[in-house]
Structure 1
Amino acid sequence: MAPILVIDDDPQINALLQDVLEFEGFQVITAQRAIEGLQHLETTKVDLVITDVLMPDKEGLETIREMRQRFPHTKILAISGGLTKSGVDVLELAKRLGAHSVLSKPFDVQDLVKSVRQLLGS
């Protein structure tokens, strides 16, 4: 199985997701910036990307749109705990742009593992 790529600007979230997923037997690559995550996708085959939606360098929504265009077979799980400045639910927007599943922060790690297993068909 190819690794899972986690993209989140919060190093604590990256570390938590990596620990949980590796404990469950998954291989994990992390990136703290969307641009870094997209570079990983260019050089490494991954089965799933878990990406934060609200990030400083490149919005997760823009990243999701780009991933759907450039890497259409890669599954995407969008995570976020926020709304846009105008009050729009960013996870709903993420779904519309092609995220296969979404989780709202804070989430239970068991819900994360369940979503990952469903997306990967395992």
Structure 2
Amino acid sequence: MASVLVIDDDEMVRTMLLRTLARGGYEAIGACDGVDGLARFRQAPCDLVITDIFMPNKEGLATIMELRRCFPDIRIVAISGGGARASLDVLPVAEALGACRTIRKPFTPQEVLAVVREVLGDPG
């Protein structure tokens, strides 16, 4: 069973993603920001990291850069709706920094599972 770390400061989004992944047959753990996410990843490396971009303490772009630097082979999916900066599209920047794929909020559980399966090479 593949494992996925979900990093998102919005508890509702994080919970929805964790439930979606569990229903899809993945072992999923959550983290509330990049600091927490990196600590959890170091403690128990996962097959995939899904990270939000705009978060307190350590935002997603910095988290992606640190993951890439320390764990070059990790697969990363970045998610964002822009938050308070909705006019700012940072998802292309996330891909340039090392995200394998991006998902724009709002998204459906089916979209998330399709991207996760694609990135992990899991036929579902």
TM-score category of the 2 structures, normalised to the smaller one:
over 0.9
8 Å contact 2:3–2:26 — kept in the other structure? Answer: yes
How much does 1:27 deviate? 0.3
Q: CA RMSD in A?
A: 1.7
Identical columns (%) = 45
Task: Write the distance in 1 (CA, Å) between the matches of 2:11 and 2:70.
Answer: 26
2:112 aligned with 1:108? no
Task: Write the distance in 2 (CA, Å) between the matches of 1:13 and 1:84.
Answer: 16
Name the residue aligned to 1:43: 43
Task: Write the distance in 2 (CA, Å) between the matches of 1:83 and 1:7.
Answer: 15
How much does 1:5 deviate? 0.1
The residue identity in structure 1 corresponding to 2:104 is S
Task: Write the distance in 1 (CA, Å) between the matches of 2:56 and 2:38.
Answer: 15
How much does 1:80 deviate? 0.1
How much does 1:71 deviate? 1.1
Name the residue aligned to 2:67: 67
Moved over 3 A (4+): none
How much does 1:88 deviate? 3.7
- State the number of aligned residues: 122
Task: Write the distance in 2 (CA, Å) between the matches of 1:17 and 1:45.
Answer: 18
Helix, strand or coil at the partner of 1:4: strand
Task: Write the distance in 2 (CA, Å) between the matches of 1:90 and 1:64.
Answer: 12
8 Å contact 2:4–2:50 — kept in the other structure? Answer: yes
The residue identity in structure 1 corresponding to 2:42 is E
Name the residue aligned to 1:81: 81
Task: Write the distance in 1 (CA, Å) between the matches of 2:88 and 2:96.
Answer: 13
Helix, strand or coil at the partner of 1:117: helix
8 Å contact 2:33–2:59 — kept in the other structure? Answer: no
2:57 aligned with 1:30? no
